[in-house]
Amino acid sequence: MRTQVGIIGAGPAGLLLSRLLALQGIDSVVLENRSREYVEARIRAGILEQHTVDTLTAAGVGDRLQRQGLEHRGIHLQYPGTRHTLDFPELCGRTVWVYGQTEVTKDLIRAQLDGGPPLLFEVSDVRPEDVDGDTPRVRFTDADGVPQVLECDVVAGTDGFHGPSRAVVQEAGGRLWERTYPYAWLGILADAAPATDELIYAWHPEGFALYSMRSPTVSRLYLQVDPSERIEDWSDERIWDALDTRMALEGWSVNRGPVTEKSILPMRSFVSAPMRRGRLFLAGDAAHIVPPTGAKGLNLAVADVTLLAQALVRLLQEKETDLVDSYSDRALARVWRCTHFSWWMTSMLHRSGDDFDAQLQLSQLRRVCSSEAAARELAENYTGLPLEL
């Protein structure tokens, strides 16, 4: 098999990269180790920045997003006794959209299978090779158990945190930074109409809680829990009671409904640099992870592949190396900005440490809720900074 760009991983990063390249006349093959059903059902992110919406729309996969996505004009920040609204258009002229990552993935897969580049599910033993030369390849075993070799000009490692690509880059030297947080998120999906117009980020002495939504009839809610908690120990009743306590506000209540999914998500920040070795380029969670508090993971993956697609078009069509040579530095500038913002939101809202820490958090929250400059800083970062910083 031969293609111009071998793409490992059919998450949002790999699928969108393939789509952006195809629109510029560049061939690719996407290799995914899971089944289509598994990839489409994976519940993850749900907030899209404006640049993500614009990129998906320009790539011709924004129709359903435009019809079913919910435009959100702000967030509510809450601490006991106070719920304060940040109005994003007023603060920075931008908005965000609620549209599940599952839906983004379904739209991209449908477009890919409808005449797009090859997308092979359920492959195994995927390994990029000879990435330091001009003729790299990807070895893998196809769904029928037959060993295959994909010869390429370039390999894109969009295989998420657990994929094989990052290790190949790091073998040639590089650096990793990691911060594991002393708490996790217990997330539920519930068939219940959201009781709020905007997401609510709530600080509470018993821990952080987040009220978000996926549609006018489906709510997505989170509770800060200890990372050692077991989901079996959290009955639906216990979860709803904790949400009621942490989100309590006079005259308002959480809407309950059947819980259709629940899981516990560890929280970490992780950055791997550089994002390139020879002809192997990393993008998305393969190179970096942020805690979900700032809603940045999916948006960063989209930003990376937007930069990478431009760089690969220039390399493969114009034989110019300037954009691929600067790709890692340009992508990492944005990665670190989002890493800082996600860490800052996480540190401000999650209970840890002692009462002194709690007072510092409350002071920071009051500052964001009372100073236009502080609120604008949050709004600009939350709604998405320019692609190139």
Instruction: Please identify every residue annotated as catalytic.
Output: 72, 201, 292, 296, 382
Among positions 28, 52, 101, 361, the unique one binding ligand FAD when judged by CB under 6 A? 101
CB 52 within 8 A of CB 100: no
Please, which residues have CB within 8 angstroms of residue 309's CB and are 6 or more apart in sequence? 17, 20, 21, 24
Among positions 45, 213, 312, 369, the unique one binding ligand FAD when judged by CB under 6 A? 45
CB-nearer residue toward ligand FAD: 106 or 366: 106
Candidate segments 4-12, 129-137, 145-153, 274-282, binder of ligand FAD by CB under 6 A? 4-12
Binding status of residue 153 toward ligand FAD by CB under 6 A: no
Binding status of residue 384 toward ligand FAD by CB under 6 A: no
CB of 158 to ligand FAD, least distance (A): 5
CB of 34 to ligand FAD, least distance (A): 4
Among positions 301, 315, 331, 369, the unique one binding ligand FAD when judged by CB under 6 A? 301
296: left (phi over 0), alpha (psi -120 to 50) or beta: alpha
Binding status of residue 295 toward ligand FAD by CB under 6 A: yes
CB-nearer residue toward ligand FAD: 74 or 187: 187
Binding status of residue 31 toward ligand FAD by CB under 6 A: yes
Applying the rule CB under 6 A, the residues between 107 and 126 that interact with ligand FAD are 126
Binding status of residue 209 toward ligand FAD by CB under 6 A: no
Binding status of residue 158 toward ligand FAD by CB under 6 A: yes
Binding status of residue 91 toward ligand FAD by CB under 6 A: no
CB of 200 to ligand FAD, least distance (A): 15
Binding status of residue 297 toward ligand FAD by CB under 6 A: yes
Site string for ligand FAD, 162-181 (x = CB under 6 A): xxx-----------------
Size of residue set near ligand FAD by CB under 6 A = 32
Binding status of residue 345 toward ligand FAD by CB under 6 A: no
Candidate segments 26-34, 223-231, 366-374, 375-383, binder of ligand FAD by CB under 6 A? 26-34
Burial of 298 (0-12, 13-18, 19+ CB in 10 A): buried
Candidate segments 10-18, 66-74, 168-176, 226-234, binder of ligand FAD by CB under 6 A? 10-18
- Binding footprint of ligand FAD on the chain (CB under 6 A): 8-14, 31-34, 39, 44-46, 101, 126, 158-160, 162-164, 265, 284-285, 292, 295-298, 301
